[in-house]
Amino acid sequence: MKNKKFSIGTIFFTVFLDLLGLGIIIPILPALLLDPIHGILKMTYSFSTRTLLYGFLIAAYPLAQFFGAPILGSLADQKGRKKLLLLSLVGTVGGYAIFIIGILTSNLYLLFLGRIVDGFTGGNISIAQSAIADVSTPETKSRNFGLIGMAFGLGFIIGPYIGGKLSDSLIVSWFTYATPFYLTILLAIINVVLVALNFPETLVIKRAVKVNLFTGFTNIKKAFTFKDLRVMFLVVFLLTVGFNFFTQFFQVFLYGKFKFTQSQVGDFFAYMGIWIAIAQGAVLRPLSKKFKPAKILSYSIILLAISFPFLLIPHQRVWLYLIVPFIAIFQGLNQPNGTAIISNLVDSTKQGEILGINQSISSLAQALPPIIAGFVTAVSINLPTWFAAGSTLLAWIIFKCFFKGEKNV
């Protein structure tokens, strides 16, 4: 029992650290590449070139994860959770170290390399989920996975806030864009020590698994062979694309229209994270007792699609803080209910396989929006938000017209 508590506590910290790092990036990347005075790019770079590079830099992490996560997941089944979790965390330390050097030397290539290393070795989440399943009983599994959800929420709330504050020289004169990443490296090193000393191997039966660099593509292809799931996989893909158009490029809108600093961007996304946590903690639970996931999803998707364009109307910041809670709540309902439907459509023996496919779909869906938005933002900073609304609306249309499992899920 003591070992299980250590395992779950260490896993919680690992997931929290992963999301903290992703959250810290949110307010810093736009400032690094889009600010012609304090950023790392020369002033001769045009705005369109800057947004294009920004998009590709954001995409580097999920693209690398698309290739790396299935490999780490397979090796974790073969070699054990602990070894691969350590490897993943060491990769996190290395990725952040390279990224820091890139900031300090204004080297764009090192920024890309840092994100690629961190992304490729970023199998923390899938390995953590496997370890949770290893140490949980049927009675405790739901509660333990709830802790993972809590770690997600805390990381996304605290990460942008820390990233914005620790990179703002107006708060402390010696703060730079690199400062928040010193903290993430320190936390990652602590996590490595915790895993090495306190995390027992949770995998009981190891199995030989074929490791393939192109497993992500195989998973995408395999997704459409499941008759009952192909519609939901497409819906989840479009929802992820839509929300990432918003989260990955709304910072550019905030910088361009409202002249937000990176500290204010961090505050804004932390505020949104709080509302997502409220949705999943206080709103979802009573709704799920009265309605099935498909019923909730049929309303939350269309309401999210309608909400996005309202962000483009205000000319005063205060209105953004009144609108974004609706977006956060509807998204907070979409993600868990979509996952629940997918899980409910397959039996227990295929849960691992389906979760792996879902991870590949999510990674690809996170990589496409920044690349597309990097091009269209040069035309208008409003377009990524319209793309977010359009992708979400398309997801709702497909869900309403083609999903036939409402009675069961």
Instruction: Parse the chain into domains and list their residue ranges.
Output: 1-208, 214-409
385 or 190, which is more confident: 385
Strand, helix or coil for residue 80: coil
Task: Please give the pLDDT value at position 123.
Answer: 64
223 has a pLDDT exceeding 90: no
CA distances 377 to 48, 53, 213, 250, 315, Å, are 7, 12, 32, 10, 19
CA distances 142 to 92, 116, 132, 304, Å, are 28, 33, 10, 27
Q: What is the pTM of this model?
A: 0.87
CATH-assigned architecture of domain 214-409: Up-down Bundle (1.20)
Question: Fold identical between 1-208 and 214-409?
Answer: yes
pLDDT digits (tens, 9 = 90+) for 326-377: 999 999 888 888 877 887 787 755 665 676 677 788 889 999 999 999 999 9
pLDDT digits (tens, 9 = 90+) for 113-124: 999 999 988 766
Per-residue confidence at 56, pLDDT binned at 50, 70, 90?
Answer: very high
1 has a pLDDT exceeding 50: no
Non-local (6+) Cβ contacts of 102 within 8 A are 40, 108, 109, 110, 111, 112, 113, 114
Answer yes or no: are the C-beta atoms of 53 and 108 closer than 8 Å: yes
Non-local (6+) Cβ contacts of 124 within 8 A are 14, 15, 17, 18, 85, 88, 89, 92
Q: Mean pLDDT across the stretch 151-169? A: 89
Answer yes or no: are the C-beta atoms of 312 and 245 closer than 8 Å: no
Give the homologous superfamily in CATH for domain 1-208: MFS general substrate transporter like domains (1.20.1250.20)
Q: Mean pLDDT across the stretch 315-320? A: 95
Q: Mean pLDDT across the stretch 384-404? A: 96
DSSP string, 284-328: HHHHHHHS-HHHHHHHHHHHHHHHGGGGGS-SSHHHHHHHHHHHH
Give the integer Cα–Cα distance in Å for 152 and 19: 6
103 has a pLDDT exceeding 90: yes
Strand, helix or coil for residue 266: helix
pLDDT digits (tens, 9 = 90+) for 164-208: 999 999 899 999 999 999 998 998 898 888 888 877 766 656 666
2 has a pLDDT exceeding 50: no
Task: Please give the pLDDT value at position 395.
Answer: 98
406 has a pLDDT exceeding 70: no
Task: Please give the pLDDT value at position 207.
Answer: 62
Non-local (6+) Cβ contacts of 329 within 8 A are 275, 276, 278, 279, 283
